[in-house]
Structure 1
């Protein structure tokens, strides 16, 4: 039989590519005659650049840029189609994983480095750009990104605002006349699994601020700062944008991209599946396996497993999901179309231990699944 393995990364345990290889290792130890195709995925967050470059034979280029707290980081972009196309993920320059847990500070974190990567892509002469929004350490509404591209964010004294979302409360004026003019000559698509608006209880600060280190008091402060930011931005561009789906993505970076840079919002997983010609590649498969670190009802809200499931079900191919941890309520996952859902953890253990043992657990899970498949299908038993 032919099997497509199409997971997202298992965060802090396995990359999507490692998850593919590890699952296949376990399965093939029991069914060596089977064939695998590896389709490592991402939905806009970490791993988006690698996933796209693997699919389109792209190359990755590195560039030193400004990190989320002004430190130098080794950012990167992906290029393909004779440098006509490029992909950038905000996590590469402004990501949460670039900081230690005790360094997280959404009040001061900046998306400036992502803007530097966009500028670097423009230097390559690109005409089409995909920007993955996921895994950011920032809550600055994409203000730093805009500043890196030449936009002036000025206080009442006409001084440039310092980096960080908290300083947006002092914003008095935005000068777009200094924006890098090359940005108008390219088509930008934003890849994200987040459709949240910028402000309020479902906005960037309230929903994502706490995981970036914001206290309840800081969430309120950051939301107020973003309110000031979007008010001035709307006055500058002459239209309302604060309620647009996706403006809250990546600490509000979606706001800057969808307004000033006129980007097109796309469901991240669908954009990537289309780029890699996923439907064609699975068309002759007997089984599709997907997964991610944690599988629950949120996995059905634009995440990688849902995107894979939707395409495979349309092709009448059964889909199995594997994950580091799974929800106690499997019914929504079954109702969505998954044939079966399996947690790979073999014993009661801490999260840290489970992530350390991720590959071993994945191998054992795949071995068991292969044996189950043989019993259920090769012998006609269930």
Structure 2
């Protein structure tokens, strides 16, 4: 038997590899001679760096950068030396989890640290970038990141505008003469799973601003400032498009990458599946296993397990999914390529107990074992 496993992380409980290796252990209890391949999985958000580093033979490194509220933070990122590729999660340098409750204020939070991480990776020889931009604390249009890379966002006196969205109110000109020269040789695949434009009713300020601490007044101000920023950018970069789907991602970071960098916005799961070359492994599998922490109706909206299932179905492979919990509307997954799914929780326990890593790994192995014992029983009977 040849089984390929690609399970997304169970947030706060198991990493992708821990979940996959636990499932593999359960299979091996039944099919001792089975060929079981565990591949890392992520959807472009949390866990993407680990997944791609594990899946592509990379290494982890770290750098101290400017955090979203100005305090230094240490950001981990991955490097794949073979392809000179850096794998970065924006949240490691400008994430909302780095901001204390009373500090949540998009007028002040900056993406400058993200640019510092990119700069460090360039100095380490990287020219290709995979960047996850989920979980940001910012709404500065990516200007902080660009400032760190040498772009000038200047006020009427020729000085760099201040950090945060509030700096945009003083923006008068954009300059490029001090941009890091290596940037022109760099390419960026940006994991983006939202389609919001930069401005307007569906723009980043209106839709994502409140969760970052924005008041209704702030939202109106930031939307106006970002619109002017986009107009100035278009004067120098004619391809700048504030209405492009995803331009409003991560407080306008999508717009910054598209306009000022050689970037594409892509589905996070597509990037991960491409880079880890899952298709190559699935082709010869007898069974494909996937899953995530919570399987529900939202899973079919482009989440990682469905990405795995779609590849498996290209080769008519059966797909089983295992999850920490399963909701009633998870039945939608059956129509999207997941043939059967199973919750791994085996007894009634507290959420804390269920999410404890050792318990979750044990539950995964035990549940997968019983499912494969069922497969073995019916395979034997059919013979």
TM-score range, shorter chain: 0.7 to 0.9
Equivalent residue, structure 2, for 1:197: 197
Report the Cα offset of residue 142 of structure 1.
Answer: 1.1
Report the Cα offset of residue 29 of structure 1.
Answer: 4.2
- SS of 1:167's equivalent in the other structure is helix
Equivalent residue, structure 2, for 1:183: 183
Matches within 5 A, 1:42-81: 42-81=42-81
- SS of 1:12's equivalent in the other structure is coil
Equivalent residue, structure 2, for 1:264: 264
- Residue pair 2:24, 2:36 contacting (<8 A) in 1 also: yes
Equivalent residue, structure 1, for 2:107: 107
Please say which of residues 66-75 and 226-235 is displaced more in the overlay: 226-235
Equivalent residue, structure 2, for 1:36: 36
Distance 1:207 1:293 in 2: 26
Report the Cα offset of residue 200 of structure 1.
Answer: 3.4
After superposition, the C-alpha distances for 1:1-43 in whole angstroms (9 at most, x for unaligned) are 2222112222222221222123333444455443321111122
Distance 1:166 1:28 in 2: 57
In the alignment, does 2:5 pair up with 1:5?
A: yes
- Residue pair 2:297, 2:331 contacting (<8 A) in 1 also: no
Report the Cα offset of residue 359 of structure 1.
Answer: 3.5
Structure 1 164/48 Cα, relative in aligned 2: closer, same or farther at 3 Å? same
Report the Cα offset of residue 53 of structure 1.
Answer: 2.1
Distance 2:268 2:50 in 1: 14
Equivalent residue, structure 2, for 1:118: 118
After superposition, the C-alpha distances for 1:70-107 in whole angstroms (9 at most, x for unaligned) are 22222233223456333222122222343456654433
Moved over 6 A (4+): none
In the alignment, does 2:145 pair up with 1:145?
A: yes
Equivalent residue, structure 1, for 2:343: 343
Structure 1 375/78 Cα, relative in aligned 2: closer, same or farther at 3 Å? same
Name the count of aligned residue pairs: 381
Q: Which runs of 5+ in 2 are unaligned?
A: none
Equivalent residue, structure 1, for 2:317: 317
Report the Cα offset of residue 328 of structure 1.
Answer: 2.1
Equivalent residue, structure 2, for 1:253: 253
After superposition, the C-alpha distances for 1:273-322 in whole angstroms (9 at most, x for unaligned) are 22222111122211111122333343333321222111111011111222
Q: Which runs of 5+ in 1 are unaligned?
A: none
After superposition, the C-alpha distances for 1:89-140 in whole angstroms (9 at most, x for unaligned) are 2122222343456654433222111101111122123332222222323222
Distance 1:149 1:254 in 2: 16
Distance 1:367 1:18 in 2: 16
Distance 1:156 1:219 in 2: 24
Matches within 5 A, 1:320-335: 320-335=320-335
Structure 1 233/57 Cα, relative in aligned 2: closer, same or farther at 3 Å? same
Distance 1:101 1:21 in 2: 37
Structure 1 217/364 Cα, relative in aligned 2: closer, same or farther at 3 Å? farther
TM-score where L is the length of structure 2: 0.88
After superposition, the C-alpha distances for 1:207-253 in whole angstroms (9 at most, x for unaligned) are 43444444555545544443333233223423441111221222221
Name which of 353, 370, 374 aligns with 2:372. Answer: 370
TM-score where L is the length of structure 1: 0.88
Q: RMSD value over aligned CA atoms?
A: 2.8
After superposition, the C-alpha distances for 1:174-196 in whole angstroms (9 at most, x for unaligned) are 22332222211222222333333
- SS of 2:325's equivalent in the other structure is strand
Equivalent residue, structure 1, for 2:303: 303
- Residue pair 1:154, 1:161 contacting (<8 A) in 2 also: yes
- Residue pair 1:42, 1:51 contacting (<8 A) in 2 also: yes
Structure 1 193/167 Cα, relative in aligned 2: closer, same or farther at 3 Å? same
Please say which of residues 10-19 and 320-329 is displaced more in the overlay: 320-329
- SS of 1:241's equivalent in the other structure is coil
